[in-house]
């Protein structure tokens, strides 16, 4: 190979190297562009994914909002949607929820009944616990707590201990224990006591009605008849202040037979003797301090020519009315020994029908179960 050939070969080699260099630069540029393009693609992919995720989230949000809106339009309150979902899961359906509410109402009513019973018992004279000498009396609150503890530990023991102080209405606190011997026994005792109280009130009402009728008729509660039934009390309150003229005016002129006059005269003599004996007895037993007080009172009072104390007409009338009131109260208590009370106590003619109707109504509602009444219903009064 000659020099020219070598030069030509070197020139060719240089061209090839230049082309290779150019190609390399192009490849590098292409690679760089390719890398940039790949990066842009990846970025676009990430952006697309983020947008997709946002779309899904928005869709879920819309779906959830729709579900919440639909749920809130139901009968349950919106603020308890999730709470009610849990209740639905626990109870199964709305019927179960209604039953639960009804049980809660019954439980609340039972609590009210127990509280009323314990509050009434705490204010009674029942024995709650033994106390040491000098120990302060239990307060109402302390009695309430003691009774509550006994009730919670054993209702049978509570009923056995306090049954004498319970009302008929308190038996509803032991309704679920029906059939237990002790509960049934004391329930009958409370019922019996209620019936006795009912009869006692009925007798009082009948006697009061009879007393009003006898007062209007004027004979039984006349001054003469009352003096005959209780001469000592009459003389003490009324007779000792009457003048001779006033005594003559009290004589019953409708019966002027000699026998009647003689008997009444004898009765009057006996009354006076009893009064004088009782008066002397009392004076002999009085203490010195009381005697001095009486002396002062006697000095203030005037005496007539017969030695009787003189008081004003107004004072006499006041004493007569007081004497009448005392005699009426004795009649109501059944202390008139010569009066046949069976003719009044067992006689329906002396029933005040207004009172009877009210008592029968109360007795009816005591025996009936409570009934719920709608607010829009009209009630008679």
Exposed (0-12), middle (13-18) or buried (19+): which is 299, by Cβ within 10 Å? exposed
Residue 375: the pLDDT is 40
For residue 111, the model assigns a pLDDT of 83
Return the structure tokens found at 3.
């020099």
Could you give the count of Cα atoms lying within 13 Å of 231 in the half-sphere of its Cβ? 16
Q: Output the pTM of the full model.
A: 0.43
Cα distances from 308 to residues 224, 235, 250, 302, in angstroms, run: 20, 12, 17, 8
> What is the pLDDT at residue 269?
64
Which of helix, strand or coil describes residue 152? helix
pLDDT tier, 346 (very low <50, low <70, confident <90, very high otherwise): confident
How much is the pLDDT for 141? 95
| Highest-confidence segment of 89-103, 132-146, 249-263, 292-306 | 132-146
Mean pLDDT of 337-353: 87
Per-residue model confidence (pLDDT) at position 298: 53
Q: Predicted confidence band at 75 (pLDDT cuts at 50, 70, 90)?
A: very low
Alpha-carbon distance 116 to 163, whole Å? 15
**Is 128 in contact with 143 (CB distance < 8 Å)?**
yes
CA 243 – CA 307 distance, rounded (Å): 10
């Amino acid at each position: 190979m000659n020099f020219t050939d070598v030069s030509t070969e070197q020139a060719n080699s240089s061209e090839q190297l230049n082309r290779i260099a150019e190609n390399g630069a192009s490849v590098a540029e292409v690679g760089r562009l390719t890398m940039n393009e790949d990066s842009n693609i990846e970025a676009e992919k990430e952006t697309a994914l983020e947008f997709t995720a946002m779309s899904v989230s928005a869709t879920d949000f819309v779906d959830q909002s729709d579900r919440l809106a639909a749920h809130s339009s139901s009968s349950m309150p919106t603020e308890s949607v999730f709470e009610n979902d849990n209740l639905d899961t626990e109870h199964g359906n709305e019927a179960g929820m209604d039953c639960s509410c009804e049980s809660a109402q019954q439980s609340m009513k039972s609590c009210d009944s127990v509280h009323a019973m314990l509050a009434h018992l705490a204010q009674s004279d029942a024995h709650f616990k033994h106390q040491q000498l000098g120990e302060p009396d239990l307060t109402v609150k302390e009695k309430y707590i003691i009774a509550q503890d006994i009730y919670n530990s054993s209702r049978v023991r509570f009923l056995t201990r306090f049954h004498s102080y319970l009302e008929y209405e308190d038996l509803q606190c032991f309704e679920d224990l029906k059939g237990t011997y002790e509960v049934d026994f004391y329930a009958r005792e409370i019922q019996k006591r209620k019936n006795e109280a009912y009869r006692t009130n009925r007798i009082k009402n009948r006697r009061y009605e009879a007393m009003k009728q006898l007062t209007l008729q004027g004979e039984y509660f006349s001054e003469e008849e009352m003096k005959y039934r209780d001469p000592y009390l009459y003389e003490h309150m009324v007779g000792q202040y009457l003048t001779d003229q006033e005594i003559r005016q009290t004589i019953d002129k409708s019966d002027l037979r000699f026998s009647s006059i003689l008997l009444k005269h004898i009765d009057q003599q006996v009354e006076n003797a009893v009064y004088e004996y009782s008066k002397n007895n009392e004076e002999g037993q009085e203490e010195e301090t009381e005697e001095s007080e009486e002396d002062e009172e006697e000095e203030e009072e005037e005496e007539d020519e017969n030695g009787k104390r003189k008081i004003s007409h107004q004072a006499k009338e006041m004493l007569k009315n007081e004497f009448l009131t005392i005699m009426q109260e004795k009649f109501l208590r059944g202390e008139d020994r010569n009066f046949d009370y069976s003719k009044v106590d067992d006689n329906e003619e002396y029933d005040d029908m207004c009172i009877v109707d009210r008592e029968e109504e109360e007795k009816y509602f005591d025996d009936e179960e409570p009934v719920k009444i709608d607010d829009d219903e009209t009630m008679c009064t």
